Each structure stands twice: as C-alpha cells, then as structure tokens.
Amino acid sequence: MDTDKNLAAGNALGGFLRARRARLRPEDVGIPTSGRRRVPGLRREEVAALAGMSSDYYTRLEQGREQHPSQQLLEAVARALRLDDEAVAHLHRVAGLTTRRTRRAPRVERVAPHLRRLLCTWRDTPALVLSPALDLLARNRLASALYADFDRADNLLHMAFLDPVARRFHRNWDRAARSTVATLRRAVGIDPEDPRLSQVVGELSVKSDEFRMLWARHDVRVKTREAKLFHHSQVGDLELHYESFMVNSAPTQQLVIYQAEPGTPSADALTLLGSLSTDLVPARDAASDAVPD
C-alpha cells in the first residue's frame, strides 16, 4: 500500500526526491513513451532502474522508511535525477550525510561594527549584509536608496512576495522570485532547525500562493554572482551585477555588492540615484537592523 499520504512532515529527503522526479520527462533520460502517463515526470520504478536499485528500495527512500542511505546510493540517485552540484550537496544534507549543527538558542543576528563602517565607505555602489533567511541586516546609503520603493526593506523574500511594488521593481520578477526561494531552500538544507528560517518559510507559505508553488519545486542554489534587472521609480531601469561573499567573522552572513558596468546608462542612473539619496540615513544606522531569529 502506498503510504505517501501518511508521510511525516519532516521527510525532507522524500519531498526533494519527489519534486525532482516530477520535473524530469522520460525523453530527458532516453526513456521511450507512448500514450498518456498517470504521473508527471518519471515513475519511481524508472528512477530506480536508472539508479541501478530496486523499486522497493527507492520507494522506501521517498516514503521516509529508509533512513540511512549510503553515499554510493545517493550518488546513483543524483545521476538518475540529473542533479547539478548544488542539488547534489542539498541531497546529501537532507539525507543526513553531512554533519548537522546542534540546535542553537534564539539569538540576534548582529553585523560587526567594522563591517558596518566599511559599508558606509562605499558611496558609489549599493552594499548590504544578508542573513541566511535573507534578512537585510545592514546596508549602506545607496542600498537604502535602491530599495526605497518598498514599504519595508527588511527581508528579500518578504519584499519579493508580499510587497506589490516587487513586480514593478524586478523587471524579471519570475526569475528573481525563483532565485530567492532557491537560496532559502539551500539555507534550510544547511540548518533545518534554524528558527528564523522556519519562521520565514511558515509565514510566506501562509501568505503567498506563488511562494508555496516555488517552495514545492525544491530548487537549490547559492547566491554568488548574477545580473539583476531593476526599475526604480526615480531613475528608471537599472542593470546591476552583484558579487556575494561569505563574512569570515560571521560565516552565516553574506556581503552583497552591486555595481553597474562603467559608461552604461545603468551607471549614469546609479550615479543619479546616489545624488538623490544624500538625505537618506543609511539603513537606520545599520546597527539597529538586527533581526531576531
């Protein structure tokens, strides 16, 4: 009897495998098909065959009845599901093959004073510090100006899914939404017991249909570098490239720096935005932007 309906809510491995299996078409993996299929994507037995294991064992994996898969078996499943490096790392985490952090007591994310001072010295480029839950922990004056269209510039996920301004501000909202959710999914895989992450996932799952749909896809990615397309109410269109760096003194935090290509209309628009933002207080002094988790 199929026990999927009785799966425990904590079966992160099964949820991930089902989501990724549903996204693969038979033709993607060289399986001939004819007629209508009852399920989207691949069947369990097809994934099992591709991975070189029994259908019964793979079914137990998805249903949460197999709690201790070996690394060799997971790698076979990863190949069968055509997972990229980030997704493979996430698969290992949710399967318990990486060391899980002990549950920490609730705390406040704080940005070190020297890092806040460094942000404020960058006057020509937006710079900010993010938590794993994508809370804006600190930002400089130009970053505050960049996000001034939002009612509350406090969390990139809240801004993307709960503020109607987002669909105008992000010229490719679908791409921005997918990216933020996939970044959050990776953070949850690294630290599934982080209370702040649970809070953000729970709130957005209740308040946003779009978030629930994207969360169910189990996409995983790390924020490193990318071009972002914005539309600012005061200066118009902006194409900004960002780089993301881990803060060594606070490894859960990320430093994100935006820049425009020199000599482009985006560079001119960013300069104009800087001249218009001289009266803005940078991130409410940033020190008060700590967010409890």
pLDDT tens-place string over residues 228-271: 999 999 999 999 999 999 998 898 999 999 999 999 999 999 99
Give domain status of residue 105, yes or no: no
CA angle, 167 as apex, 161 and 168 as ends, to 5°?
A: 145
Is the pLDDT at 2 greater than 70? The verdict is no
CATH number of the domain encompassing residue 259: 3.30.450.180
Interhelix angle 55-63/71-80, rounded to 10 degrees, is 100
Among 65, 94, 123, where does a domain finish?
94
Higher pLDDT, residue 81 or 105 = 81
Same domain, 70 and 124: no
Residue 63 in contact with residue 4, Cβ under 8 Å?
A: yes
Residue 51 in contact with residue 80, Cβ under 8 Å?
A: yes
Give domain status of residue 99, yes or no: no
- Tally of structural domains, the chain: 2
pLDDT value at residue 98: 63
Give domain status of residue 104, yes or no: no
Residue 277 in contact with residue 142, Cβ under 8 Å?
A: yes
Which domain covers residue 52, as residue numbers? 4-94
Same domain, 136 and 57: no
Give domain status of residue 56, yes or no: yes
Give residue 100's pLDDT band: very low, low, confident or very high (50, 70, 90): very low
Same domain, 138 and 77: no
Is the pLDDT at 283 greater than 50? The verdict is no
**Per-residue pLDDT tens for 18-55?**
999 888 888 887 777 766 777 778 888 888 888 888 88
Same domain, 88 and 142: no
Q: How far is residue 103's CA from residue 249's CA, in Å, rounded to a whole number?
A: 20
Average pLDDT over residues 62-77: 84
Structure-token pair, residue 217: 């896809």
Same domain, 154 and 12: no
Measured from the Cβ of residue 251, the count of other Cβ atoms closer than 10 Å reads: 8
Is the pLDDT at 9 greater than 60? The verdict is no
% helix / strand / coil in the chain, to the nearest 5?
45, 15, 40
Same domain, 54 and 163: no
Give residue 284's pLDDT band: very low, low, confident or very high (50, 70, 90): very low
**Per-residue pLDDT tens for 199-219?**
899 899 889 999 999 998 888
Same domain, 139 and 281: yes
Among 59, 94, 129, where does a domain finish?
94
Burial of residue 90, with CB atoms counted within 10 A of its CB: 0-12 exposed, 13-18 middle, 19 or more buried: buried
Same domain, 170 and 265: yes
CATH number of the domain encompassing residue 21: 1.10.260.40
Same domain, 74 and 125: no
Residue 150 in contact with residue 289, Cβ under 8 Å?
A: no
pLDDT value at residue 11: 81
Is the pLDDT at 94 greater than 90? The verdict is no
pTM of the model: 0.70
Same domain, 189 and 134: yes
Average pLDDT over residues 109-121: 92
